Structure 1
């Protein structure tokens, strides 16, 4: 599976809130680093992260652009509430080996009525 096709499938699973399907798209030792958070290492930890996040908020990823360059797919996205971000996915052998995402955590927490952590 090409990086672009893998990320398109990732978006579909994300929009279903399917932590099992998402986790299956990662290498066993993959890293998911959302820059507003500490890196999450390993498929099991990534599964737990998605399950926790889907339980806390309803999230939707609307693709604005999806590019591919070698092993990398680059996703520009927005959500229905106006939040925007981008993600970089390194796909090796059809599975995600590394992901880094950029988005505004404070805006996300406010939009979903979630608690804002103290400094």
Structure 2
């Protein structure tokens, strides 16, 4: 689980770190939209699936939350599983 991020710099740093340690591909399954809210359902070529929820105001994302199986992701990418995931 990742703690909530606040601010553009924190978000950029997270993506910089995470994209450097694994090969990530997101293929869009579907996008649903209702007013300020949008939902993205995705998959990757290796079988991982997930979804993201976005609240958009004035053309900017003001809230985002995503769900996927991090344990499967770590194993799929050959990354060490943090001890906190196994305890």
Question: What TM-score does the superposition give when structure 2 sets the normalisation length?
Answer: 0.93
Q: Are 1:84 and 2:53 matched, yes or no?
A: no
Q: 1:98 aligns with which of 36, 60, 63?
A: 63
Where does structure 1 differ by over 2 angstroms across 4 or more consecutive aligned residues?
none
Tell me the distance in 2 between the aligned counterparts of 1:115 and 1:74.
30
Match of 1:71 in 2: 36
2:31 aligned counterpart, secondary structure: strand
Q: Are 1:44 and 2:6 matched, yes or no?
A: no
Taking only aligned residues, the RMSD between alpha carbons, in angstroms, comes to 0.7
**Unpaired runs of at least 5, structure 2:** none
Count of aligned positions: 84
In the TM superposition, what is the alpha-carbon distance from 1:39 to its structure 2 partner?
1.1
**Between Structure 1 and Structure 2, whose CA radius of gyration is higher?**
2
In the TM superposition, what is the alpha-carbon distance from 1:102 to its structure 2 partner?
0.5
